[in-house]
Chain A
Amino acid sequence: MFKKQNSKRGLAKRNLTVIGWLMAMCFVASSARAELLIRITEGANSAIPVAVVPFAESGAMPAGDKVSSIVQADLTMSGEFKPLDPSKMLSLPSERSEVYFRDWRMLGQRYVLVGQLTSNSGRVEARYELFDVNREQRILGETAAAPAGNVRSLAHHISDRVYEAITGEPGAFSTKLAYVTLTGSGKNSVYRLHISDIDGQRSKVRLESGEPILSPAWSPDGKKLAYVSFETGKPVIYIHELATGKRTKAADFPGLNSAPAWSPDGKSLLMTLSKDGNAEVYEKNLASGKITKLTNHWAIDTEAAWDHAGKGVFFTSDRSGGPQIYYMERPGAEARRITFGSRYNARARPDSKGEYVYYVHQRERSFHIARRNLKTDEEFIVTRTGTDESPSVSPNGRMLIYATEQGGKGVLTVVSADGGAAYSLPASEGEVREPAWGPITR
């Protein structure tokens, strides 16, 4: 089934059904628990006005959120769009012949999305069209289908297509989040590793433990997660195959086994081990099992991540007296310090284009996520909350998710990469932390 999906790469509308079935299969395995809620906290001023017209429906539609409502929520969530409230629409067109551009111009809209849904023998098909109001042109016209139980996948797919048609960048609405929740405290603590949609919906538990789970990292194909689990009383790195639930230990040496990070080709894992006395960065070849030491310093060296091209490695070291970000042009090469001006910079996460790197940054008494332009060295504080950590960049580089606190409880917050807009994902119960944004797997 995976092969089938791969061979149809690019034929998005066709293989959505396949993806839908795959999702259905994956999700049967475990039950939902501690759903994330969504709280849109602010919108960007520069957001593009777009009208998502409620889709016309024929046939019995599944209960729950409407496809067009989910699309509207997705676009709002990105912070880059300002969807029009449907109650303000003068008409509700569902195809080209019903779209009066003058009306939409009057409402200040730049784009209009219209569509029709047909429900037939357990499947929902969407025909949808996107119009540029100023040019009076259709810029997208497609159909897509999914099993009736997966209209959310269908909606996220439409959001991705609309996003790409307008911005030229792939949308990330169909991608997944991995994160860890904590309920209870002390001996009653329960840590759960979840996977959900990026709006927190359809959350499923993949691992439950009385001991901490941290540092989930997606394989580039989105089929595996590497993470650190303390279930044996010490930190051990596991690789967890999501479709089967099969787990293997990737590192279980004396001392630290932490901070796993996949290479872009998925063939090796960067990790922090302290088996030789103190924390150093290593690379493990997953096929041969061979482990190569990449740093060799008395200081703490940890939190490694490949750069966008998979050639160089960012990592955190406190060799200067406090944690700072360093970069090796190739594994094992001499490290160059790239952050200055704050006593604490840690856990670098580069975007997928090599433009920016994001990291935890101390300013006075607060910890924020900062973004550094790798060409100009310009540093920008992205987040305005306080105890911020664990930044993870969306695969299209347009959004950032990180962990912070609200009212003394851990929540996840998503901001646009320039800090413009935000939504938060508090857990319905307990705390949530350690977000990892999954890859685009279409």
Chain B
Amino acid sequence: MMKVSAQNKAFAMLLSFGLVAGCSSTGDTMEEDGYGYDSGSDVAAIDQEGGSTVYGGEDGEGVSSSVLSDEERAEARAKAEQEALRNITTFYFDFDTSEIKQEARNALVTHARFLSSNPRQQVRLEGHADERGSKEYNLALGERRAKAVERFLVVNGASRGQIETVSYGEEKPVVRGSSESAYAQNRRVELIFK
């Protein structure tokens, strides 16, 4: 159990580096700035997580070579965890934002790695918005959400050529109705592996 959480932390660390590297390597600072609150909260999240996890990650790696059966068990567990994360293919957003939520990151990193180790695999990212506001703005918002996920996947190892994005705006809700919970489930990006 200790080990798993250490792995998780190592994960978060990698992810933090990935994000930071991504921001500076795209050279697209204008665009990142464009997300104002998005990039701001990203940085805050990295600082918090990063500060407390960097050492945890290294410790975990240091202890890993003990008994073979343990290692196998851990591997199996890790594999199961990856599988579980791979099954998460819908990612949710807050109203009028395209910020990737903290809880979405492990699964997205897993998808990115899967894409990276399967270069022929293609994925379609479908961006959606809730029904509130105007349709055409929501179309652009859905696209921005899909592109935020695309960027995240690319920063974490997927190649741009594997990814196709499309926005449906508010046209294809999963849940009909005008409740907060319906809205929350409709503001999403779906990954569709082909």
Contacts and interface: CB of A to CB of B under 8 A. Distances in A.
A409 B131 CA distance: 12
A408 B133 contact: no
A215 B144 contact: no
B190 interface: no
A258 B37 contact: no
Contact of A256 (B34, B37, B143, B171): B143
A224 to B, nearest CB: 19
A235 B170 CA distance: 13
Interface in B160-175: 165-169, 171-172
A367 B132 contact: yes
Interface in B106-152: 131-137, 139-141, 143-144, 147
Interface in A257-313: 258-259, 272, 274, 277-279, 297-300, 302-303
B140 A214 contact: no
Contact of B139 (A256, A278, A386): A256
- Sorting the interface of chain A by its residue count into under 10, 10 to 19, 20 to 34 or 35 or more gives 35 or more
B158 to A, nearest CB: 18
A274 B143 contact: yes
A51 B177 CA distance: 43
- Sorting the interface of chain B by its residue count into under 10, 10 to 19, 20 to 34 or 35 or more gives 20 to 34
A387 interface: yes
B96 A272 contact: no
Interface string B77-120: 00000000000000000001000000000000000000000000
Contact of A212 (B141, B171, B176): B171
A429 interface: no
Contacts of A434: 135
A298 B178 CA distance: 31
Interface string A236-270: 00000000000000000001101100000000000
A94 interface: no
A303 B134 CA distance: 9
A256 B135 contact: no
A387 B136 contact: no
Nearest to B96: A322
Given A234-B166, A322-B96, A386-B178, A274 B140 contact: yes
Contacts, number: 101
Given A298-B30, A299-B34, A408 B177 contact: yes
Contacts of A274: 140, 143
A121 interface: no
A298 B34 contact: yes
A389 interface: yes
A321 interface: yes
A412 to B, nearest CB: 14
B62 interface: no
B72 to A, nearest CB: 43
B33 interface: yes
Given A277-B31, A386-B178, A387-B178, A300 B135 contact: no
Interface of B: 30-31, 33-34, 36-37, 96, 131-137, 139-141, 143-144, 147, 165-169, 171-172, 176-178
26 contacts: A212-B168, A214-B171, A215-B136, A255-B143, A256-B143, A258-B140, A259-B136, A272-B139, A272-B140, A274-B140, A278-B34, A279-B140, A279-B143, A279-B144, A298-B33, A299-B34, A302-B139, A323-B137, A344-B96, A344-B133, A346-B133, A347-B134, A347-B136, A360-B133, A386-B178, A408-B177
Given A212-B171, A318-B137, 15 more contacts: A214-B136, A234-B166, A256-B140, A256-B143, A256-B167, A274-B140, A274-B143, A278-B144, A299-B34, A302-B136, A321-B37, A322-B96, A323-B134, A387-B131, A390-B134
The 3 closest A-B pairs by CB, nearest first: A298-B34, A212-B171, A347-B134
